[in-house]
C-alpha cells in the first residue's frame, strides 16, 4: 500500500477489495478514527471529481454554495432525495418518450450519453438494450412496486468493483484470516437468467468476480430475461387496483400484450419450480452452493423440497443470502428453520441494501446490520432533516454516501427510519451499525417528506434541472 494519504483514500474509495487485501475481516475491523479520516478524504475526492460532471450535482452544489467538503456533515445537503432516480414525469413511460427519458438520465450521470438517439424505442426493454449497446452504462431499475420505476445509471466498472468487494464479504462465516481467493461455489439462482433490475443484473455483472467466468456454475430457474416492461405494467396495474382505479387508458397496445406475457411467465415459473428443485438437487446434492433470494422465495423452495422428502441436500458450508423481506407475501414465523432444514445449513446470511447502494450490509450475531466501510451512513432528524451526532445511539432517517461509484453521485437519503449505533458492537466489529428493526418512514410518520425549507428549495431547483423540458 502506498504511503501517500491522498492515494490511499482514492484506492479505498475506488477499490475497497484491493485496499483491504480481499479480507472482509479487515474491512469490518478498521480503527474508527482511521476509517473516519479515510471516508472524509474519499468524499472530498469524489466531490471534486464529479461536481462539474453531473448536472444535478452541479445545481445542488451551486444552490447550497458548496465548493468543498471540510467535514462529513458538509455532504448532507448534497445527498439526493430518495425519489431522484424516478423523478422523470410519469408521462414519459406512458407515452414511450424514451428520447426525453435519455435526456433526463444524462443529467444524473458523469457519462456522456448525448449521442444516444432513443426516439425509435417502443419499450423500456428496447431503451435499455440501446443503452447497453451504445454506452458503458448498465442501468439498474427498481421493481416499481409503487407504480413508478427508478433508473440508476451505474457503469460497468462500478458494477465490477461492487462485486469484487461483495466477494470478500460473502465469506462472513468463514475463517477471517483468509482472503479466500480460491473459493468458489455453484450459484443456485431461482429467477430468470437475465434482467436489468439491481438483483437480476447479478448473473451478468458478477459472472467473472463471483463465479470465475464459469457459466456452468450458474443454475437459473429460467433461462429467459425478466422484462422491465412486464414489471412496470404489472406494478402500475397493482397500484391502480389498490387505489380502486380501473382506468387503463394509459396502457398502449404493445404494453397490453405484455400483460398476457406476464401472466404466462408467472404461471411457467410456478410450474417450473418443482422441476427446478429436483434437477438442482440431483445435480448438486452434497455440493457447496450459494443461493440469493428474498424470504418468500427461499421459503417456497424449501417448503416444496421438504414436501418432496428432500432434506439437508447441500453441503453444510453452503451460503444462503437473503434480504428485502417477504415482498408483500406472508411467510410463517419459522420460515428460516424451514430453509435451513432443507438446505442443510445452520444459519442464513441476512443483508440490508437497496438498488442505490453498492454494498450488502450484513447482519451480525448481535442482530445489527454493519455498514461496509465504503458506505458512509448519516442519521437525519426526523422532522427537519439535519444530521444527528455521529456518537452514541441515534434514531432517525437513514442517509448515506456510497464512495465506490464514479458514474453517478453516491449521496442518497432513504425512506427508512433506523436506530444507528456509533459505539462498538458486541460482535467485535468496529463499523457503524443499525438495529435489525427498520421501518418505512411513511408507514410510521404518515409523510415521507424532509421538511427543512432550505433543503426543499435547493432540491426543487435540482429536480427542475432534471425534469425541465422533458415532457
DSSP state of 386: P
Closest CA to 301 of 323, 327, 329, 270: 270
Mean pLDDT, residues 31-54: 96
CATH architecture of the region 5-284+347-467: 3-Layer(aba) Sandwich (3.40)
Distance from C-alpha of 416 to C-alpha of 357, rounded to nearest angstrom: 14
Distance from C-alpha of 429 to C-alpha of 373, rounded to nearest angstrom: 11
Report how many helices (DSSP H) and strands (DSSP E) the chain contains, helices first.
17, 14
Q: What is the mean pLDDT of the chain?
A: 87
The residue whose grid cell reads 439526493 is 80
Residue 1: pLDDT band (50, 70, 90) is low
- Say which residue, 75 or 451, is predicted with more confidence: 75
Distance from C-alpha of 81 to C-alpha of 268, rounded to nearest angstrom: 38
Instruction: Provide the grid cell at 53.
Output: 460532471
Cα-Cα end-to-end distance for the chain: 50
- Say which residue, 454 or 352, is predicted with more confidence: 352
Closest CA to 123 of 141, 136, 146, 145: 141
Distance from C-alpha of 354 to C-alpha of 350, rounded to nearest angstrom: 13
The residue whose grid cell reads 478524504 is 41
Quickly list DSSP for 234-264: HHHHHHHHHHT----TT--HHHHHHHHHHHH
pLDDT of residue 448: 55
Each residue of 192-242: pLDDT tens digit?
A: 899 999 899 999 998 888 888 899 999 999 888 888 988 888 777 777 777
- Say which residue, 440 or 324, is predicted with more confidence: 440
Distance from C-alpha of 23 to C-alpha of 178, rounded to nearest angstrom: 7
Each residue of 320-338: pLDDT tens digit?
A: 999 877 566 788 999 999 9
Distance from C-alpha of 180 to C-alpha of 269, rounded to nearest angstrom: 35
Amino acid at each position: 500500500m502506498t504511503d501517500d494519504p491522498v492515494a490511499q483514500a482514492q484506492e479505498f474509495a475506488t477499490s475497497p477489495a484491493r485496499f483491504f487485501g480481499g479480507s472482509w475481516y479487515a474491512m469490518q475491523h478498521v480503527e474508527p478514527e482511521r476509517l473516519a479520516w479515510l471516508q472524509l478524504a474519499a468524499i472530498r475526492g469524489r466531490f471534486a471529481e464529479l461536481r462539474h460532471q453531473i448536472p444535478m450535482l452541479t445545481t445542488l452544489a451551486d444552490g447550497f454554495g458548496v465548493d468543498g467538503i471540510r467535514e462529513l456533515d458538509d455532504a448532507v445537503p448534497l445527498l439526493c432525495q430518495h425519489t431522484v432516480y424516478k423523478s422523470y414525469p410519469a408521462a414519459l413511460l406512458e407515452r414511450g418518450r424514451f428520447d426525453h427519458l435519455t435526456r433526463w438520465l444524462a443529467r444524473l450521470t458523469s457519462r456522456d450519453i448525448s449521442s444516444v438517439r432513443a426516439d425509435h424505442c417502443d419499450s423500456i426493454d428496447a431503451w435499455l438494450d440501446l443503452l447497453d449497446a451504445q454506452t458503458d452504462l448498465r442501468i439498474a431499475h427498481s421493481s416499481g412496486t409503487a407504480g413508478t420505476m427508478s433508473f440508476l445509471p451505474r457503469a460497468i466498472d462500478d458494477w465490477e468493483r461492487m462485486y469484487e468487494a461483495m466477494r470478500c464479504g460473502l465469506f462472513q462465516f468463514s475463517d477471517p484470516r483468509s482472503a479466500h481467493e480460491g473459493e468458489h461455489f455453484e450459484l443456485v439462482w431461482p429467477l430468470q437468467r437475465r434482467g436489468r433490475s439491481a438483483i437480476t443484473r447479478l448473473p451478468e455483472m458478477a459472472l467473472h468476480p463471483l463465479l470465475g467466468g464459469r457459466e456452468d456454475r450458474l443454475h437459473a430457474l429460467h433461462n429467459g430475461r425478466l422484462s422491465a416492461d412486464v414489471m412496470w405494467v404489472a406494478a402500475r396495474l397493482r397500484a391502480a387496483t389498490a387505489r380502486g382505479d380501473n382506468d387503463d387508458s394509459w396502457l398502449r397496445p404493445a404494453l397490453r400484450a405484455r400483460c398476457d406475457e406476464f401472466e404466462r411467465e408467472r404461471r411457467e415459473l410456478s410450474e417450473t419450480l418443482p422441476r427446478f428443485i429436483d434437477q438442482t438437487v440431483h445435480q448438486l446434492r452434497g455440493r457447496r452452493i450459494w443461493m440469493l433470494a428474498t424470504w418468500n422465495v427461499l421459503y417456497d423452495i424449501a417448503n416444496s423440497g421438504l414436501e418432496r422428502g428432500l432434506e439437508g441436500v447441500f453441503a453444510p458450508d453452503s451460503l444462503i443470502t437473503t434480504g428485502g423481506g417477504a415482498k408483500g407475501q406472508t411467510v410463517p414465523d419459522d420460515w428460516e428453520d424451514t430453509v435451513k432444514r432443507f438446505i442443510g445449513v445452520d444459519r442464513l446470511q441476512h443483508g440490508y441494501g437497496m438498488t442505490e447502494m453498492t454494498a450488502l450490509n450484513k447482519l451480525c450475531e448481535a442482530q445489527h446490520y454493519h455498514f461496509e466501510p465504503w458506505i458512509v451512513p448519516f442519521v437525519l432528524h426526523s422532522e427537519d432533516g439535519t444530521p444527528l451526532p455521529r456518537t452514541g445511539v441515534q434514531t432517525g432517517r437513514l442517509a448515506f454516501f456510497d464512495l465506490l461509484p464514479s458514474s453517478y453521485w453516491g449521496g442518497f437519503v432513504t425512506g427508512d427510519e433506523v436506530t444507528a449505533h456509533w459505539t462498538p458492537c458486541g460482535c467485535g466489529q468496529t463499523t457503524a451499525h443499525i438495529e435489525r428493526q427498520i421501518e418505512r418512514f411513511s408507514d410510521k410518520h404518515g409523510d415521507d417528506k424532509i421538511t427543512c425549507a432550505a433543503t426543499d428549495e435547493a432540491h426543487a431547483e435540482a429536480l427542475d434541472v432534471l425534469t425541465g423540458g422533458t415532457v
